[in-house]
Amino acid sequence: MDRREAVQLLTALAALPGIGCAQRADIDVPGAFELVRGQPGTVIGVPHGTADTGTLEIGRLLCERLGTAGVFVTGFWDPKARQRVNVNRPTEQLIGRESQVLKQWRSERAAAANAHYEQLVQQAAQGRLKAFYELHSNNRPLYADSIEVSTRGVERGEAQRFKAAFEAARDRLTADVPRLAVHVSPLDSVSYPNYGNASTISRLADKGCAIEHPGRMVVNRAWRRAYAECLAEAIREARWA
């Protein structure tokens, strides 16, 4: 049996309860969820696979390299209005060109999407969720040259192992790949993202993180695949689960 289960459990937002509570009648943001089976305990999450450039491929590569489970979400994004159903929390947003939040509000359809995301992550974990890695990308100028890792439940020594393994793998990359800094809390000060506030999975996992990649890097397929390999090495060596 193929370990990828492309379950179109949600092929359109109309399938969710609360769809009638859309904020604007001209907004159409259908979405779909996919569950990839893997070893129990660790899950890769990609809640913004369409809006966050490159994260879908990075997540798939991590699942392949590590044998972990994954939950991948596509859609839920209106590029014209720049409106997103967040999926990893029960809110919607209007997002600026540099990833700034212009407006955020709770909605019934966002709550339903978030509940389904939580359900699939727990299903993918096949029991206790020991470690969770949620992937994102952004266009904020301040983070154009760094990967930011906001953690919860992770001790300094565990963060140090993650960072050291990532940097060692980064330093082995070919010369044509730009060198990015990596900051990992609680070892480093990480103000963006805030994993505890950004994802409701943070309260379900023993240890976990939100990983923000710079958009200028992940838009290049060769570069994002190179850094996905660095991330796989960091997860493997950090041994959070």
Q: Which residues have a Cβ under 8 Å from the Cβ of 179 and sit 6 or more positions away? A: 170, 171, 173
Task: Report CA 58 to chain centroid distance, whole Å.
Answer: 10
Dihedrals phi, psi of 237, to nearest 5 degrees:
-80, -25
* Domains defined for the chain, CATH in brackets: 4-238 (3.40.630.100)
Q: Residue 72 CB: number of other CB atoms within 10 A? A: 23
Compute the mean pLDDT over every residue in the chain, rounded to the nearest whole number.
90
pLDDT of residue 40 exceeding 90, the answer is yes
Entry pTM: 0.90
What pLDDT score was predicted for residue 118? Answer: 98
- SS3 state of residue 212: strand
Could you give the dihedral angle defined by the CA atoms of residues 84, 70, 56 and 189, in that order, rounded to the nearest 10 degrees? 70
Dihedrals phi, psi of 158, to nearest 5 degrees:
-70, -40
pLDDT of residue 2 exceeding 70, the answer is no
What single-letter DSSP state applies at residue 14?
Answer: G
Angle of the 156-171 helix axis to the 221-238 helix axis, nearest 10: 140
What pLDDT score was predicted for residue 33? Answer: 97
Distance spanning both ends of the chain, measured CA to CA: 26
**Residues 155-166 pLDDT 10s:** 999 999 999 999
Q: Which of the four pLDDT bands, split at 50, 70 and 90, describes residue 99?
A: very high
What pLDDT score was predicted for residue 29? Answer: 63
> What are the DSSP calls for 79-143, one per residue?
TTTTEEE-SSSSEEEEE-TTS-EEEEEE-HHHHHHHHHHHHHHHHHHTS---EEEEEEEE--GGG
C-alpha to C-alpha distance for 190 and 177, rounded to whole angstroms:
24
Percentage of the chain beyond pLDDT 70 is: 88
pLDDT of residue 23 exceeding 80, the answer is no
pLDDT of residue 69 exceeding 70, the answer is yes
- SS3 state of residue 36: strand
125 in Cβ contact with 211 (< 8 Å): no
Q: Tokens in use for 212?
A: 């923000």
